[in-house]
Each structure stands twice: as structure tokens, then as C-alpha cells.
Structure 1
Amino acid sequence: MLRPLALWLLLVATATVVVVDCAVLTENGMPILWSQTAGQLTDLPIQDGVLVPNPWHYQHRMSLYRLLIAATDPYMGFMGTNATDSPIWGLPLQLGWMLTSGRLADPTGVSACGVETGDRMCISTQSWWACVNYHFSVIPFLSAAQQGFFGESVSMQVPEGVTDYCTTYADCATRFPDLVTKWDAFYQGLKAASVSDASDLEKKDHVLGLYWEAHQASMGASASCVARQSYYSSTEVSFANSWQTSADYIAAVYFQSSLDKSVMFMSPLPSRVLREGDSAPNIADLSTEENHSLYIFSWMRSMNTVLGGSLVRLWRGSMCSITTREKGRGLLEQILLNPSFVPSTFLSIITSSTSC
């Protein structure tokens, strides 16, 4: 019988992954409307010497990512030779997908915020997806500013009457102390790694570990958004919850979410908000790849639930070294991107694996 790691290698070597762009993720090879975002801090509003972006305007929120990547790139040399090797690239791509798939629009239908016939650049404060993304965009940006990457004081604009979003570093640190601590640790670790004598492989693995700890802290803090799920169909809510669970598997392998790799993994995401009656893998107006990703996300979450959470625990336990994480990334590539991959194979590999 093949040992688990040997089986992983065999699967990666023999399986063929065919990726077809389904979700719209890029324009001219960059995140959606990247060319229309702020290239420098002074391109965003400043009041009384304080930077005051409006995170409820798509181009402003996307600008936070562009500025963040530019500020951290000088410390990312060990990530690779390409200008787009930073793991932060996965975040603006995710925001772009939310825009093009209609997930940033007002789900209540009360306003024209974010809809094609209304203010397309408006991000709704009622959108569950926009609320979750707030913890992956605004808060990491405020943390980076606090850690000295911008040299500016920052305070986010907030719509009148909206009180459940933090707007400053101090405010966010009070509401989400673990989340802010994890992003602070990532930026501090990035600076330390850039001058470390460790090998590039060791530095990359360490910093990616810090990044995914911060990423998962953002995911955990987004529990504050759950009330907004009531505006969506049960099918969309089920997908949203499965999408969150999938991050547990991706985080465990320290996935390097560079621009190219993130496009590959995000391309099969559903290109529209799901409706009641949608049932993967048989949703007629979605592609084979979209149907497959929806089915796999649902299968991974339901199987983990059936097993009392042990599937995620076993997966995390087996991703305990640089070598096993590399194999894990290959296996995830197969299960998420290869429509012919049999999910039960994933289960058999994980349950037969042992922790380090």
C-alpha cells in the first residue's frame, strides 16, 4: 500500500488540472479596476493631516490593497523573483470577484448601492461579503499604518448611522484585539525576515505562516457579520459558510497566494450570487468548473461536520513541515481544480496520514 506522502506525489504527477476562467478576476492581468486606484497616499482624501479613505467606495477599498502591496513589497524579496509573488495579492483578487459577481451590492434591494443600474462603485454596508472583506482590507491596512509602513495617521470614513465598523487602529484593536495582534505580528515578522540570515525557503515558510494566522484571525472576527446572512438565499449562505471553511485547509498549507496562483484557485468561484433552487453540480447557467468548486466546498464542509471537525484537525496535523505543506498544496490543487478528482480519495489520504 502506498504511504500517504507517496500517494500525494503520485496524484500530483499523474492528474491533469484544466482551469477555465469562470469568475471575472482580472483586467489586463491585474485585479479589477486596478489602474483606476490610488498609486500613492496623496491620491486619497486627507483631512487635517489624516488620511481618510472611504472603504465603502470600491476604488478606495481596492486602493488600500495597492498601497499595502507597494509598501510591503520591498520586504518580500524571499517570496520569489516576480513582482507579483506577495501573498497579499490574493486579497484584491477576492475583492474584485465580489464586485463582478454582485456580492458587494445591497442584498436588501432597498438601495441601488452596487447594482449594475445604480452606483456600481458603491459597497453596501449590508452586504455580508463586504462586511467579511472589511476584516481583510481595512483592518490589515490600519495595522500596516500602525507598524510604520505608511508614516501617516489613518481614519476610515463611515456612512452616517453605521456604527458596527471600526474606523481607526485603536478602535479596531479594542473590538478585535486578537485580529489586530495577528496582523501586527505578520508585519513585524516580515520586517525581521527581510534582514534575517535564514534561507529564503525558511523565511518564506515562516512569513507565510504568520500571514495565514492573520488571515484566519480575520476570518474568525468576521463572525460579527453573521446577521447580514439573513438577506441571502439559503444556497448562498451555505456556499458562504463552505467558502469560509475552505480557508482552514488552504491556511494549513501556507498557500503562497501570489497573483498567478490566486487567479488559478479563484477562477472556478461562482460568477453570480446563488439563488434558491441552485444545486451543484447541476446549476445550468454556471460552468462545469464553477459547479465543481461549489460541490467540493460543500463536500469538504459537510464531511468535516459529519466527522465532528476531525477532518480539518487531521489535515492541520499532517501539514506540520515544509515538505508536507508542499505536498498538501499539490493535493488541494487537484481536489479544487480537477473536476475528475474523486473527493473520497482526499478523505482516505487524510485519515491515513499521521501527524509529525
Structure 2
Amino acid sequence: MLRPTVLGLLLACAVSLGTSTVITENGMPLMWAQTWGQVTDLPTQNGVLNPDPWNVLHRMSLYRLMISATDSYIGYMGTNTTENPIWGLPLQLGWMQTSGRLADPTSATTCGLQTGDPMCISTQSWWGCVNYFTSALPFLSAAKQGFMGEGVQVQMQVPEGVTDFCTTYTDCAALYPDVMAKWDAFFEALKTTKDSPLPDNEKKDSLLGIYWAAQMVSTYTSAVCSPRKSHYSSVEVSFAQNWLNSAEYVSAAHFHSNLDNSARFLTPLPNRVLKEGDSPPNIADLSEDENHTLSIFSWMSNINTLLGGSLVRMWKSAMCSVTTREKGRELLNQLLLDPRFATSSFLSIISGMNTSC
């Protein structure tokens, strides 16, 4: 059985010191050393792979196996060994886990609690539900496309009494055809893009576009998780929606979600579930960076609402070429990570970028 090591200590330190969330250990996602590195390590039943996506280490293992299976196809993404865009997903899962967002929000069980089973992902967690669409479903697609071995079949485990999650490729393709089609397209593109005659920067941009298309359709479909929002404070629900909205910007810019870039953008996210009364940028037990991120997320959402959705439309329109998407990524980096960057500059720069499209 896979077991955590220093997770509880890391979580306690992050919360007690009011610092940003710890999402890496020895330069890798948390608990990475405890995950399985071979497909044959996964549990099986009657010759079918049978991972438990309601266990953090199992979900982490799905990511590790997908990264390992696809790394040889993306040499054009960069010179480091951590350039795979899938790296953003295990880091994101680690943040959700250490910040308490995968725990049972109803408090009916000890699932996900340090005093209970810290590796448990509650089926009542909105965050755990949303993440299912970017962990279990892409793994099922990868297996279908042959990345886990010839003829390998997979059926996800599901907790007793839970019926609203698909567990096989066939079931998921029937329930969420757009999601599975987009992930299929991504894994197929890995094979075809590798030998494309295009320059490396164009191949990279193209693959990232296909990757984010899969991510976004997964995000849209995860609206089925919405009833679970009732378990959270209005402040957490607002943050959750703003977090989803931020994906519109990073996806349109074809954000390269490699290990380093993803860690930089995920570290300033709040290290605990938000509660009533929390009011950024003045949440005392959150760091300055976390307060800044929450404020910027809120500003982006509010401005877009005031403009009738035109901020997102302007942004997407401006992300019309490889060159403007590169500029867009730099702009997001300034907006989200540099407290000195004026939000008014963001609007004027977007307007200027639109004129070049």
C-alpha cells in the first residue's frame, strides 16, 4: 500500500506560518516518490487495470504514468525533462490536497482529513469532482490510444453507493463524448506532431492548443459537479468560479504548463478552504502572494462581468497568433505574479494587441 511521508508536516507548516502552499518536494510534485511508476504496478481485477481515483496517490500515479508514456513524443517542447504540459495536473492535485479541498466538506466523514484518511478524496468534494475530469478521463483516453500498452483495459474503482462517475472509456465516451474526443485528439496529436516539418515553436504552440482544448471541455463538462458547491462558503464558491474563469485566459494563451511554470502559478493559491468573513487582500493568515492572487482573480471576474463578458472575448481575440500568445503568457505572468503591475495596464495592452490581429 502506498503511504504518505511528510505530507502532514508540510501542511501544518504551510498553514501555521501563513506562507504560500507547499506543492513540491525535492523539486517534484508532493508524494511523487510514493506513486507507481509502472503500469503493471496498478491494481488489477480479472486482467483489467483497476486504479482507485478516490485515493490521492492513485490519482497521482495516473499522472505519473501519462507523463512517462508521452515524454518521448515531445522533444520539441524544451530541453528539460519536465517540459510535458501534463505536469501542471499533479501539482494542481497536490495543492488541492494540502489545502484541504479534497476532504469531505460536509464533515460527515474523516475522508481527506489528517486525523482520518489523508489520502482519501471525498466524492462530496467539488474540487475532487472537477479534478476527476482531468485525471481519470484523460487516463482512460491514453489507455484507449495505446499509451499504456497494447490492448490494456481500464476500469476505475468507485466507492460503494456512488453512481454519478463514469469508470470506463466506453461509459465516459457515452456520457461525455466531447471530453473524450478532445483527449483522444490530444494523445493522437502527440504521435503526429512529433514528426511534423513545422518549426519547434509552432509544433509546441499547436500541441498546447490541442491540450488546452481538452482541458477546457473538461472544465465545462465538470458543471455536473455544481451541486457540491452548496457544501462551501460563499467566499470559497466565488473563488472556485474565479479559478475556473482564469482557465479561459491561460488556455487561450496556450500556457506551457510544464513543472516550473505550473509551480510558479499554483504556489500563490490559497493554502486553505476559504470561509465566510475572508476578504482579500486582508486575510490575515494567508500570505501576501495568496491575498494578491485572490484579489486579481476577483478583479478579472468582476471586470469581465461589468463588461458583459467582453474582457474574455477581447483576450481570446488577441490570442490570434504564436507571437501574440507568447506576449499573452508574459502579460499573465506580470498580472498574476507581480503586485506592482497595474491592472489598468492589462486592459490597455489587450486593446493594443487586438489591433495586430
Give the CA deviation at 1:348. Answer: 2.3
**What is the aligned partner in structure 2 of residue 76 from structure 1?**
74
**1:149 maps to amino acid:** F
Measure, in 2, the Cα distance between the counterparts of 1:193 and 1:167: 29
> Is the counterpart of residue 40 in structure 1 residue 28 in structure 2?
no
Question: Residue 116 of structure 1: SS of its match in structure 2?
Answer: coil
Given that 2:243 and 2:297 are in contact with CA atoms closer than 8 Å, whether structure 1 keeps it comes out as yes
Given that 1:311 and 1:351 are in contact with CA atoms closer than 8 Å, whether structure 2 keeps it comes out as no
**What is the aligned partner in structure 1 of residue 54 from structure 2?**
56
Give the CA deviation at 1:354. Answer: 2.0
**2:102 maps to amino acid:** L
TM alignment of 1:42-191, pairs within 5 A: 42-151=40-149, 152-191=152-191
**What is the aligned partner in structure 2 of residue 325 from structure 1?**
325
**What is the aligned partner in structure 2 of residue 210 from structure 1?**
210
Measure, in 1, the Cα distance between the counterparts of 2:208 and 2:300: 23
Give the CA deviation at 1:310. Answer: 0.7
Once the two structures are overlaid, the 10-residue window that deviates more, 313-322 or 343-352, is 343-352
Measure, in 1, the Cα distance between the counterparts of 2:249 and 2:201: 21
Measure, in 2, the Cα distance between the counterparts of 1:347 and 1:201: 27
Measure, in 2, the Cα distance between the counterparts of 1:106 and 1:321: 43
Measure, in 2, the Cα distance between the counterparts of 1:291 and 1:258: 24
**2:317 maps to amino acid:** G
Give the CA deviation at 1:21. Answer: 6.8
Question: Could you list the per-position Cα deviations for residues 149-208 of structure 1 after superposition, in whole angstroms to 9, with x for gaps in the alignment?
Answer: 012100000001101000000111111111111111111111101122221111111101
Which structure 2 residue ranges, 5 or more long, are not aligned? 1-17
Give the CA deviation at 1:116. Answer: 1.1
Q: TM-score, normalised by structure 2?
A: 0.93
Aligned length: 337
Measure, in 1, the Cα distance between the counterparts of 2:329 and 2:290: 20
Give the CA deviation at 1:352. Answer: 4.1
Structure 1 runs (4+) greater than 3 angstroms displaced:
none
**What is the aligned partner in structure 1 of residue 296 from structure 2?**
296
Give the CA deviation at 1:44. Answer: 1.2
Measure, in 1, the Cα distance between the counterparts of 2:298 and 2:351: 19
Question: Residue 133 of structure 2: SS of its match in structure 1?
Answer: helix
**1:44 maps to amino acid:** L
Given that 1:335 and 1:346 are in contact with CA atoms closer than 8 Å, whether structure 2 keeps it comes out as yes
**What is the aligned partner in structure 1 of residue 9 from structure 2?**
none
Given that 2:50 and 2:154 are in contact with CA atoms closer than 8 Å, whether structure 1 keeps it comes out as yes
Give the CA deviation at 1:236. Answer: 0.3
**1:193 maps to amino acid:** T
**What is the aligned partner in structure 1 of residue 234 from structure 2?**
234
Given that 1:21 and 1:267 are in contact with CA atoms closer than 8 Å, whether structure 2 keeps it comes out as no
Measure, in 2, the Cα distance between the counterparts of 1:139 and 1:83: 25
Question: Residue 354 of structure 2: SS of its match in structure 1?
Answer: coil
Given that 2:19 and 2:286 are in contact with CA atoms closer than 8 Å, whether structure 1 keeps it comes out as no
Which structure 1 residue ranges, 5 or more long, are not aligned? 1-19
Measure, in 1, the Cα distance between the counterparts of 2:326 and 2:198: 19
Given that 1:85 and 1:258 are in contact with CA atoms closer than 8 Å, whether structure 2 keeps it comes out as yes
**What is the aligned partner in structure 1 of residue 11 from structure 2?**
none
Once the two structures are overlaid, the 10-residue window that deviates more, 340-349 or 158-167, is 340-349
**2:241 maps to amino acid:** N
Given that 2:255 and 2:329 are in contact with CA atoms closer than 8 Å, whether structure 1 keeps it comes out as yes
**What is the aligned partner in structure 2 of residue 8 from structure 1?**
none
Measure, in 2, the Cα distance between the counterparts of 1:265 and 1:123: 23
Give the CA deviation at 1:43. Answer: 1.2
Give the CA deviation at 1:41. Answer: 1.1
Measure, in 2, the Cα distance between the counterparts of 1:24 and 1:32: 8
Question: Could you list the per-position Cα deviations for residues 87-144 of structure 1 after superposition, in whole angstroms to 9, with x for gaps in the alignment?
Answer: 1100000000001000000000000000110000101000000000000100000011
Equivalent pairs: percent with the same residue? 64
Measure, in 2, the Cα distance between the counterparts of 1:262 and 1:352: 27
Q: Greater RCO between the two (CA within 8 Å, min separation 6)?
A: 1
**1:56 maps to amino acid:** W
